[in-house]
Amino acid sequence: MSMFFTIAVIVLVFLVIFQIAKASEYVSILKGDENAKAQSNKINGFLMIVFLVLGLVGVYLCNKALFPKTLLAHESPSVQGEKVDSMLWVTLIITGIVFIITQILLFWFSYKYQENPKRKVFFFPHNNTMELVWTVVPAITLTVLVVIGLRNWFSFTSEAPKDALVVEITGKQFGWMFRYPGKDNIFGKKYFRVINDAQSNPLGQIWADNAQYNLKADPANFDDIVLSQTVYLVKGKPAKFIINSRDVIHDVGLPQFRMKMDAVPGTPTTLWFTPKFTTKEMKEKTGNPDFVYEISCDQMCGNGHYSMKGVIEVVTQEEYDLWMAKQKPNYYAAFPDKDPANQKPVTPAAGADSTKTLAAAK
């Protein structure tokens, strides 16, 4: 019912506007075309200035209301993000100045030079000096921006530092999986045809010989740790992601760290950055007790795209070591009988060994 009412009101408003517009046309014919044109020209000229003033006030108010909600309101929690931010500011200032000057000129000229029967227009088809100026000045300005941009670009895309914490991240519809290389610091080989979710092998780690695909088990896989949804990184330590996708193209979006890289099936990509603040510190800095570093999928990947979320916990080195010590290689999930913890009741000696290694890891 309310629907009909709304439609009726809209139609009515439409008809009223339409009738007024039609009437105004008749009036203009009665008044004489020239008079009517002069009048509407005055109104539109005036509206140009009104629009300019309201627009600039609007820009200011919009900024006041929305700026605190952007990432720029807080210091970036990554070293790379700081560079992005400073570059954003430089670009904003340059484009902002151009924006304000050109918009003011546009609407001011429109207002100032509205038709006036007394004015004689200035026949001004071209002027080489002026054209040269506004070719060269933008070119120089852009060169500055390109230089700043490329310096950052090459630093962001450079090889990650040797001491970086390397994590493999794999997207699938619709979630993220993470793999740490384990104690040997080597990622075991993978093959997509041996992926088997039911048998705890979501990444296709080659940990058993396979005659069908001519694969040999890679021992480097035995200590790899596989996690889903949450990944732990260390404050102040560069983190390098090796990015894969299992099905369609995804994108590892790290809004707070100002970083992003696609996950492409069949073509691994990389991305590295250095987190500066722990999650706990960010909760204080942003004043938001629920703050988390989120990984958002930034490449359309299907109907669950909007829910493809991962979490990054940035912690101190000590917290990280404690946490890491508690993680079990994924190999043991697939082969519980190989897990030293499960072998305890059978052979006590082996159990003692595993406690020792755990203690050593700590």
Q: Which is nearer to other proteins, 8 or 105 (CB)?
A: 105
CA-to-CA distance for 266 and 192, rounded, in angstroms? 9
Size of the site for other proteins (CB under 8 A): 125
Q: Which is nearer to other proteins, 1 or 360 (CB)?
A: 1
Q: Which is nearer to other proteins, 215 or 324 (CB)?
A: 215
Q: How far is the CB of 266 from other proteins (least distance, A)?
A: 3
> Residues 201, 334: contact at Cβ < 8 Å?
yes
The correct pick among 307, 326, 345, 359 for binding other proteins (CB under 8 A) is 307
> Residues 257, 296: contact at Cβ < 8 Å?
no
> Residues 264, 252: contact at Cβ < 8 Å?
no
Angle at 45 between CA 39 and CA 46, to 5 degrees: 95
Decide if residue 32 touches other proteins (CB under 8 A).
no
Three-class SS state of 146: helix
- Ranges of H-type helices in 230-347: 279-286, 317-325, 330-334, 340-343
Q: Which is nearer to other proteins, 32 or 336 (CB)?
A: 32
Decide if residue 298 touches other proteins (CB under 8 A).
yes
Site for other proteins in 265-284 (CB under 8 A): 265-270
The residue range among 96-104, 161-169, 333-341, 348-356 that interacts with other proteins, by the rule CB under 8 A, is: 96-104
Q: Which is nearer to other proteins, 92 or 346 (CB)?
A: 92
Measure Cα distances from 135 to 69, 127, 140, 170 in Å: 37, 13, 9, 47
The correct pick among 163, 197, 318, 337 for binding other proteins (CB under 8 A) is 197
Q: How far is the CB of 333 from other proteins (least distance, A)?
A: 18
Site for other proteins in 146-185 (CB under 8 A): 146, 148-150, 152-154, 156-158, 172-173
DSSP string, 163-180: TPEEEEEEEETTEEEEEE
From the list 219, 199, 201, the residue with the least C-alpha distance to 209 is: 219
The residue range among 176-184, 296-304, 320-328, 331-339 that interacts with other proteins, by the rule CB under 8 A, is: 296-304
Q: Which is nearer to other proteins, 92 or 361 (CB)?
A: 92
Site for other proteins in 213-252 (CB under 8 A): 246-249, 251
From the list 259, 256, 265, the residue with the least C-alpha distance to 157 is: 259
Q: Which is nearer to other proteins, 159 or 318 (CB)?
A: 159
Q: How far is the CB of 65 from other proteins (least distance, A)?
A: 8
Decide if residue 297 touches other proteins (CB under 8 A).
yes
Q: How far is the CB of 248 from other proteins (least distance, A)?
A: 4
> Residues 56, 232: contact at Cβ < 8 Å?
no
> Residues 148, 279: contact at Cβ < 8 Å?
no
Structure tokens at 232: 């732990």
CA-to-CA distance for 277 and 283, rounded, in angstroms? 10
Decide if residue 5 touches other proteins (CB under 8 A).
no
CA-to-CA distance for 221 and 207, rounded, in angstroms? 6
> Residues 89, 75: contact at Cβ < 8 Å?
no
Decide if residue 292 touches other proteins (CB under 8 A).
yes
Q: How far is the CB of 215 from other proteins (least distance, A)?
A: 13
Decide if residue 201 touches other proteins (CB under 8 A).
no
Tokens 């003692």 sit at which residue? 352
Q: How far is the CB of 48 from other proteins (least distance, A)?
A: 8
Tokens 């001011």 sit at which residue? 108
Q: Which is nearer to other proteins, 59 or 217 (CB)?
A: 59
> Residues 71, 88: contact at Cβ < 8 Å?
no
Site for other proteins in 115-144 (CB under 8 A): 115-116, 119-127, 130-131, 134-135, 138-139, 142
Decide if residue 93 touches other proteins (CB under 8 A).
no
CA-to-CA distance for 202 and 177, rounded, in angstroms? 8
The interface mask with other proteins, positions 44-83, x = CB under 8 A, is xx-xx--x---x--xx--xx--xx-xxxx--------x-x
